[in-house]
Amino acid sequence: MPLLLLLLMLLIPAAHEATSSALLGINYGRVGNNLPPTTSALQLLAGLGLGRVRLYDADPSTIRAFANTGVELIVGVPDECLAAVSTPSGATSWVRSVIQPALPATKIAILTVGNEVLTGYNSSALSSSLLPAMQCIHDALAQLGLDKQVSVTTAHNLGVLATSYPPSSAYFRKDLLPILCPILDFHARTGSPFLVNAYPYFAYAGDSTGVELEYALLEPGHGGVPDPGSGLHYPNMLVAQVDAVYHAIAAANRAAARTVEVRVSETGWPSAGDANETGATPQNAARYNGNVMRLVSEGKGTPLRPEGALRVYLFALFNENMKPGPSSERNYGLFKPDGTPVYELSYRLPKENATSGTSGGSITGAGGNNGHSDGSQDSGYYSISASANANVGWWAWTVAARVTVLTMMAL
């Protein structure tokens, strides 16, 4: 049996390790009862040219599936675990049992302690545990010599802002400052990023007469919106939302503002929704997510922080049929559970996205066709359709490989 497993591992092609240098990642949510196995998801990721993935929990079998693939993970510490890991002993036990065994085979770069804790339905019960949990997990990693390899943060909803428009006037909710200010100190001290879940879709759906659709969809032809306070010009809403967070950080903690990086841990657009969910269509979803890919592939920063490339995680890989809430919540995926695309993207990542480089390297967009492929696998661009085809081919290839190996073992 060990020889059989070894031969199977040699036969199965590994994903490009170099893709971890890309600036674009994707959220791999699994709130569904009809989703394919992680091995199938890996083939979709390879077909898209994505080497960064965010998980919302720390399921050991899922983490193990990413071992030796080169894919870089953000691993979530679920909200329900916050109390347990907010003590030194609890955090040490969790890191030793869940994270340490997966390293270094699985490339875990970030741990997110909770998701939207400060604005969630259970915020009153969890908020006091957030920073202690972050500190204790970081200390546990440091004790094991892993703190330089794995950083600790949390992901916030844009609801932590009292106002976000114009970006230069943004500031955090005053009731959250006693929690956010020491969290910013933590980021500055440990070098971890400030993560925000930013959705121009919600701004448009909430005020479709006041927010221009092209601005929310990040359309490159839109004239943009000026910020009278800073004099900066914003070509699309996503970079405006990111800069609003930067301004809020500066208003709350000027020392932290000099060093803390803002990254987008979630953004996306639903392909379907309820009758009152304005703009939730496959066409708009394709335009938005394609424009996010185009924006990030340019390797540029925001108007306020042009020197640092914008890092973004798309939401999400699959439609998830068991997510609660309005219909849109179950329709953010690029793919259906059977691995077929929900829609064709308006932009395809250039294959230069997966060129070799160190972690943190930037993407250089390929020239010609504005990112659109002629359908050829070798056209120089990744394709969502090709990704789906690779996923189907994976199963046939794996079965054939297993038959070949078993035949060899029988000889």
In a domain, 276, yes or no: yes
In a domain, 67, yes or no: yes
pLDDT on residue 123: 80
pLDDT on residue 345: 86
Q: Which two tokens stand for residue 301?
A: 């920063």
In a domain, 245, yes or no: yes
In a domain, 1, yes or no: no
In a domain, 2, yes or no: no
Q: Which residue range is the domain that position 320 belongs to?
A: 19-399
Catalytic site residue from 266, 277, 298, 329: 266
99 sits in which H/E element: none
Q: Which of 71, 28, 32 is nearest to 52 (CA)?
A: 71
Q: Residue 225: which CATH number?
A: 3.20.20.80
Q: Measured between alpha carbons, how far is 119 from 154 in angstroms, rounded to an integer?
A: 12
Q: Name the H helices within 95-194.
A: 123-143, 177-190
Catalytic site residue from 80, 116, 214, 219: 116
pLDDT in tens, the chain (411 residues): 444 444 334 433 343 333 334 789 999 999 999 999 999 999 999 889 899 999 999 999 999 999 999 999 999 999 999 999 999 999 999 999 999 999 999 999 999 999 999 998 878 889 999 999 999 999 999 999 999 999 999 999 999 999 999 999 999 999 999 999 999 999 999 999 999 999 999 999 999 999 999 999 999 999 999 999 999 999 999 999 999 999 999 999 999 999 999 999 999 999 999 999 999 999 999 999 999 999 999 999 999 999 989 999 999 999 999 999 999 999 999 999 999 999 998 787 777 554 333 333 222 222 333 333 333 345 566 667 666 665 544 433 333 333 333 333 344
In a domain, 8, yes or no: no
Q: Measured between alpha carbons, how far is 335 from 282 in angstroms, rounded to an integer?
A: 12
Please count the structural domains in the chain. Answer: 1
Q: Measured between alpha carbons, how far is 220 from 365 in angstroms, rounded to an integer?
A: 15
Q: If you search the block for the tokens 């949510």, which residue do you land on?
A: 29
In a domain, 408, yes or no: no
Q: If you search the block for the tokens 């909430």, which residue do you land on?
A: 206
Question: Would residue 219 show up in a list of annotated catalytic residues for this protein?
Answer: no
- Read off the DSSP letter of residue 95: I
Q: Which of 160, 147, 60 is nearest to 111 (CA)?
A: 147
Question: How deeply is 263 buried, as exposed, middle or buried, from its count of CB atoms within 10 A (0-12, 13-18, 19+)?
Answer: buried
- pLDDT tens-place string over residues 28-87: 999 999 999 999 999 999 889 899 999 999 999 999 999 999 999 999 999 999 999 999
Cα distances from 374 to residues 198, 242, 348, 364, 377, in angstroms, run 32, 34, 11, 20, 9
391 sits in which H/E element: helix 384-410
151-157/107-115 β-pairing: parallel
Question: Would residue 80 show up in a list of annotated catalytic residues for this protein?
Answer: no
In a domain, 339, yes or no: yes
Tell me if 167 sits within 8 A of 234, measured CB to CB: yes
